[in-house]
Amino acid sequence: MVYGLDFINHFEKYCPQWLAEEGDPVGLHIGCLKREIKRIMVTLDVRPEVVEEAIAKKIDLIIAKHPPIFRPIARLTPDTPQNKMYFDLIKHDIAVYAAHTNMDIIPDGLNDWFCEALEINVEDYLVKTHEVKWLKLIVYIPKEQANQMRQVLGNAGAGEQGNYYHTSYSMNGLGRFTPNDQATPAIGQINQAETVEEERIEVILPEPLSTIVLTAMKEAHPYEEPAYDLIKLENPPKTYGLGRIGRLKEPVLLETFVKKVRTTFALDGLRLIEPPIKKEYVQKIAICGGSGEKFYPAALQKGADVYL
């Protein structure tokens, strides 16, 4: 049995909402995730015909690229096709979740898939969008619960470093405390000094995940008042960006590359704008899915032969 909330929590470890551009309304738009889901539909846009198909196929959750509600709805009456679509989704208990610019920005996301399809070796993103600082969380916990806590922290997204995950560091020590009259201690007696064999667990995490990780830590910690430190690090920040730029294995004729684009994406046609000085062969390719025309200067600056 899979619950919608569990599925989305797992999905957001790969595609977090905090990577979306400012003002982009990603996340849950319609419905409830606190129920079992069996059938999921993925779509670019949520249109009336898409909803009709979802109803016919008994879909529980729609994952959409474009948010179905981008601006606030002034009136919710079923007298327009768009509003009727919302009514139908609610009536048939179909949840709708949007992953928009965060899907464009994430490593191994949409732009990387485009590059893979066109056999472009990615070298960098096109335009930087996020510079994420690192934090270090230090938690003190009885030794018996240390392994469980490491698992909880890792599942919440802490301890990811490059190609490694669930990384941590531990030290053994003694924790000392005296519960007062108002305390409800998990270990020890009121007004009696207590010494506990504890483990110090250290993990790093990106700053936007701090609330999620701290909440998970506190819920799993046996102590009424968990002892922990959250420290800002001076390590180089992790950067993310829109678009990708990379190279083909070898230079190819521009005409050949254009044909490859049409074939790969099954396009009936495409628009080619050439510079005054035409390039016969191309190798360095920049690409940005969606409304990427404003990043054309960045593609030029980075020496792209072609910008898709």
Residue 204: give its domain's CATH number: 3.30.70.120
Alpha helices in 109-248 (DSSP H): 110-117, 146-155, 210-220
- Same domain membership, residue 245 and residue 124: yes
Do 138 and 112 lie in one domain? The reply is: no
Amino acid, res. 89: L
Residue 232: band (very low, low, confident or very high) from pLDDT cuts 50, 70, 90: very high
Query: Is the predicted pLDDT of residue 35 greater than 90, yes or no?
Result: yes
State the pLDDT at residue 72: 84
Examine the domain organization and report whether 144 and 219 are in the same domain.
yes
- 249 and 181 in a common domain: no
Prediction pTM value: 0.85
Residues 163 and 295 in one domain: no
Same domain, 213 and 141: yes
| pLDDT 10s digits, 53-104 | 999 999 999 999 999 998 888 888 888 889 999 999 999 999 999 999 999 9
Residues in the chain: 308
286 burial (CB, 10 Å; 0-12 / 13-18 / 19+) is buried
Considering the domain architecture, whether residues 146 and 119 belong to the same structural domain is answered as no
- Beta carbons of 60 and 1 less than 8 angstroms apart: no
DSSP character at residue 3: B
* Rounded distance between C-alpha atoms, residue 226 and residue 64, angstroms: 40
Burial 133-146 (b: 16+ CB within 10 A, else e): ebbbbebbbbeebb
> Per the structure, how many domains does the chain have?
3
Do 145 and 126 belong together in one domain? no
DSSP state of 302: T
Task: Give residue 86's pLDDT.
Answer: 95
User: Could you tell me the pLDDT band of residue 48, with boundaries at 50, 70 and 90?
Assistant: very high
In a shared domain, residues 34 and 118: no
Range of the domain at 65: 4-102
Residue range 251-282, pLDDT digits in tens = 999 999 999 999 999 998 888 888 887 888 99
Contacts of 138 (CB under 8 A, 6+ apart): 200, 201, 202, 228, 229, 230, 231
Q: Which residues pair with 40 in a beta bridge?
A: 61
Radius of gyration of the chain (CA): 25
138 and 228 inside one domain? yes
The answer to whether residue 162 scores a pLDDT higher than 90 is: no
Q: Supply the CATH number for residue 96's domain.
A: 3.40.1390.30
Closest listed residue to residue 64, CA positions, set 34, 91, 24, 113: 24
Nearest to 142 by CA among 219, 222, 217: 222
Task: Give the C-alpha separation, 3 to 36, whole Å.
Answer: 4
Which percentage of the chain shows pLDDT scores above 70? 100
Same domain, 70 and 138: no
Q: What is the mean pLDDT of residues 28-51?
A: 96
The pLDDT of residue 163 is: 87
* Judgement on whether residues 201 and 139 belong to the same structural domain of the protein: yes
CB 99 within 8 A of CB 65: yes
Tokens encoding 6: 């569990």
Q: In angstroms, how far is CA 288 from the centroid of its own chain? A: 18
Supply 240's token pair.
């993310």
